[in-house]
Amino acid sequence: MRTILLPGALALLLTACTTVTARNDDDPYIWLEDVHGAKALAWVKDENAKATARLDGDKRFATYRREALAILTAKDRLPLPQFRAEGVDNIWQDDAHPHGLWRAASLASYRAGRPKWSTVLDLDALSKTEGKNWFWKGADCLAPDDRLCLLNLSDGGGDAVEIREFDAETKTFVDGGFKLDRAKQNVEWIDRDTILVSRPTSDADTTESGYPFTLKLLKRGAAWADAKEAFRGERKDVMVTPRVMRDADGVVRATIAERRVGFFEAEYYLLGDAAPVKLPLPLKSSLRGYVDGQLVFSLQEDFQGFKQGALVALHLIGSTDGSPAGDMQNDMFKLALIMQPTASQTIDGVETTRDHVVVQLLDNVKGAVEVYSRRGNDWTGKRLSLPSDSQLVVRAAQKSGSLLFITSESFLAPTKLWWADVASAKDALVKALPAKFKGSTHVVEQHWAASKDGTKVPYFLVRPKKMKSDGSTPTLLFGYGGFQLSKPPAYLPEMGKLWLERGGAFVIANIRGGGEFGPAWHQSALREHRQRAFDDFAAVGEDLIARKVTTPRRLGIYGRSNGGVLTTVLMTQRPELFNAVVVESPLVDMLRYHKLSAGASWTGEYGNPDVAGDRAFIAEYSAYQKVKPGVKYPEPYITTNTEDDRVHPGHARKFSAKLSEVGAPYIYYENTFGGHSNDADPAMNADRWARHYIYLTQKLMD
């Protein structure tokens, strides 16, 4: 299973500093942090009733919901693939299968654009049989035959999963097979009778962020209590994760403990029969894969002559099981440069095939895919001939061969699926998504706004071709600006159908804190520099007004998760600049975020409120504490999920309560199931998008 790390950062400063303790009695709404508390849920029920009366009660709601549901359950959606054995897999949700079908097809039929699917597992049937709300969260299948799979199943869509062994050939769960109860956990196969597991079972092996910091080897048929410890981190870490590196034939070449001392800082240890051996890499580096005896890393800081942002290969010399051999510094580790992004580029993804490293690039926030091969210590690359001015995403890479599946998408051009053979450099279109809205009425432009400190910040504007330059266009401005996540062009059919077709404009602001121009773009808005991201976002809004695209009356903003920090701060710092604010699954109370859910893992991004110096700069912007009486705030739509086990629903609840206290208008709605990713039930997602755009229509179009 490919490990997906949650946003996080180092929770303990490495220098001596003064600490402070937040007093709970200073917060009159702390009772809303009790996720399932009777009083809190009664408050949620009352708020939901008011929100549905306002939004669901709009005469346009049924139309919006029907249009959204048609998109989310359409039979002509692209079935995105994953390679398994000699074929491909797909997870498919529609109106008849809201929980999803795990399906398989031959590679030949899929590549021809006419896949012949067979069902491997019906999650709706499983949910009905077991009385659960099972949703797919990935699988790790044992190479090379990929028959035995460790399924990650989420009851309700949250991050915590139950892991169960499944036989993909007989299409049944393995009797007496591996089974791990619900937790935030990661697992990798070693061999058919051994797995390497990171899972917390008590406070003694759980980090302050709520994740495991030990790795254990579990044998088939053994009790968890008998699992052998393979690696131990520390409670102050974010987490420890297993990484088993296999070659193209499925042979284990390196077993690695990834010790996340922070989201952006990691140590890597080779595991074997001897004591763990730490790899000589900087803390700010990320393991991207394995190919032909090389561990592939990206560097987020300068290191031994390699520049920040570089992609490098670490050559391993040792036994095939990953245990050390020879003189560690002189014989085992050799670094070589694979590629160095330019100032306008960033590496947005890395995959490996049998003999190649595949780099998913952004260049001025537009996509490209480059393929690198090695001769000795030298790497050479070539760019695939795929659509320009688009986002390109490598959806699947054939570990045992040379095939890729890649999607291209842009704001107005429907998503297309391509295959490419990296050995021959040939590619061809597999299938194109039919248009889900009328894109011909709009045009895409890229502009640059000057932020408060003079930094030029790019943004994409999707506007009506016949737009009047009088500021009358209803405009939705989206931003994120955190955790080195980039926001390139994307085909958003629900946005196009529910917003663009009704005459709206859509904007993505590529503000600092994201990854659009490499690690430096992200690091320039960390911690005490967070205000730069907020200034960038405001500058884009001001630029749209200066260009007479829109006015504050017609300008709305939307952000979710870390983007909720952004939108609530802008709402309190610049209330005159916007008339609509969508705040989804947000962080808001930044003086207590580290006490809630996975918040302790994010202090490297925001700072540690228990440290006096950090608390001071966080308090300068934390929106929950900045709400004041007598201020005319735009009426926000605030929404979250009860079962979000990544960003605590208390943030959204308390912010709404604070607005109510000062007499400011707001709308609050909380879904009662579904996790942070909003990837559970298509019907729930249709309701979600309909409410979003009904609210925006009311505020910006009416």
Going from the first residue of the chain to its last (702 residues), give the mean pLDDT of each consecutive group of 10, the final group possibly shorter.
32 31 71 97 98 98 98 94 96 92 97 96 97 95 97 92 98 97 96 97 89 97 96 95 97 97 94 94 97 95 96 76 40 84 97 97 97 93 93 97 97 97 93 96 98 98 97 98 96 98 98 97 98 98 98 98 98 98 98 94 96 98 98 98 93 98 98 72 92 98 98
> Do residue 688 and residue 552 come from a single domain?
yes
Q: 409 by DSSP, 3-state: which?
A: strand
> Do residue 645 and residue 531 come from a single domain?
yes
> Do residue 373 and residue 280 come from a single domain?
no
CB 579 within 8 Å of CB 634:
yes
Choose one of 325, 340, 355: the last residue of a domain. Answer: 340
**Other residues' Cβ atoms within 10 Å of the Cβ of residue 500:** 23
Distance CA(620)–CA(631), nearest Å, equals 17
Q: Which of 127, 676, 677, 692 is catalytic?
A: 676
> Do residue 545 and residue 693 come from a single domain?
yes
> Do residue 390 and residue 446 come from a single domain?
no
What single string gives the DSSP state of each residue in 541-553? HHHHHHTTS--GG
Let me know if residue 22 belongs to a domain. no
Distance CA(475)–CA(477), nearest Å, equals 6
- Enter the tokens of residue 362: 């952004």
Strand partners, 477: 507, 557
Q: State how far Cα 459 lies from the chain centre.
A: 21
Choose one of 387, 414, 434: the last residue of a domain. Answer: 434
Pairing of strands 239-246, 252-262: antiparallel
Helix (H) or strand (E) holding 606: helix 603-606
Let me know if residue 667 belongs to a domain. yes
CB 143 within 8 Å of CB 290:
no
> Do residue 420 and residue 446 come from a single domain?
no
Query: Is 561 an annotated catalytic residue?
Result: yes
> Do residue 317 and residue 397 come from a single domain?
no
> Do residue 600 and residue 453 come from a single domain?
yes
The residue with tokens 């600490």 is 19
CB 280 within 8 Å of CB 297:
no
CB 269 within 8 Å of CB 281:
no
Let me know if residue 239 belongs to a domain. yes
Choose one of 305, 340, 375: the last residue of a domain. Answer: 340
Let me know if residue 61 belongs to a domain. no
Distance CA(207)–CA(209), nearest Å, equals 5
Distance CA(15)–CA(74), nearest Å, equals 55
Let me know if residue 373 belongs to a domain. yes
**Nearest Cα to Cα of residue 398 among 135, 123, 88, 641:** 88
Domain that holds residue 579: 436-701
The residue with tokens 């299973």 is 1
Residues composing the chain: 702
- Distances in Å between the alpha carbon of 633 and those of 302, 572, 576, 577, 626? 44, 7, 8, 10, 12
Q: What is the pLDDT of residue 377?
A: 83
Beta-carbon-side half-sphere exposure of residue 422 (alpha carbons within 13 Å): 30
Give the list of residues 6+ apart from residue 96 with CB closer than 8 angstroms, or none: none
Question: To the nearest 10°, the Cα dihedral for 195, 91, 353, 278?
Answer: -40
> Do residue 444 and residue 424 come from a single domain?
no
Distance CA(663)–CA(650), nearest Å, equals 20
The residue with tokens 């989804």 is 584
- Enter the tokens of residue 252: 């284990």
The residue with tokens 């859910």 is 597
Distance CA(578)–CA(474), nearest Å, equals 11
Let me know if residue 678 belongs to a domain. yes
Distance CA(89)–CA(367), nearest Å, equals 25
Q: Which of 127, 561, 585, 656 is catalytic?
A: 561
Let me know if residue 11 belongs to a domain. no
> Do residue 653 and residue 533 come from a single domain?
yes
Let me know if residue 416 belongs to a domain. yes
> Do residue 248 and residue 369 come from a single domain?
no
The residue with tokens 């900087």 is 282
CB 307 within 8 Å of CB 340:
yes
57 class by beta-carbon count within 10 Å (0-12 exposed, 13-18 middle, 19+ buried): exposed
- Distances in Å between the alpha carbon of 106 and those of 86, 90, 140, 417? 7, 11, 19, 17
> Do residue 690 and residue 542 come from a single domain?
yes
User: E strands, 239-332, where?
Assistant: 239-246, 252-262, 265-271, 277-278, 285-291, 294-299, 311-316
> What is the tally of structural domains in the chain?
4
CATH number of the CATH domain containing 566: 3.40.50.1820
